[in-house]
Amino acid sequence: MAADDHAARKHGRRTVASALLEMCTALRTADAAPPGAVAMTGPDPAERIRRLISAPPAVPGRLSRALTGTAAAVVLAWPVLVAVAPAVLLGNPAHLPGAG
């Protein structure tokens, strides 16, 4: 399947799937492989074709990674902020008795 992926990057997913389909039909209609044909080994050709014509897996981009990192930082920092907030508020002189 790595060869399929390499060919798909170079020629397009649908082009490679179409070529696989043509090879399968040529091998079924002929008694022997046509001259110059390469043997198809590995997973079922139908599965290879289905995998090529299905949507490619999503690769997270920079923005997605940045948002995930920011969300993780907020989740990790939240307990500390909640624990420190009362001390910060009480440390403000405006809240002390007799201030003002």
3-state secondary structure (DSSP) of residue 12: coil
Task: Provide the pLDDT for residue 86.
Answer: 85
Nearest Cα to Cα of residue 48 among 19, 25, 28: 19
Task: Provide the pLDDT for residue 78.
Answer: 95
Q: Give the DSSP letter string of 38-97.
A: PP--SS-HHHHHHHHHSPPPP---HHHHHHHHHHHHHHHHHHHHHHHHHHHHHTSGGGST
Decide if pLDDT at 1 tops 80.
Answer: no
Looking at residue 1, the DSSP 8-state letter turns out to be -
Per-residue model confidence as pLDDT tens digits over 44-62: 888 888 988 887 766 778 8
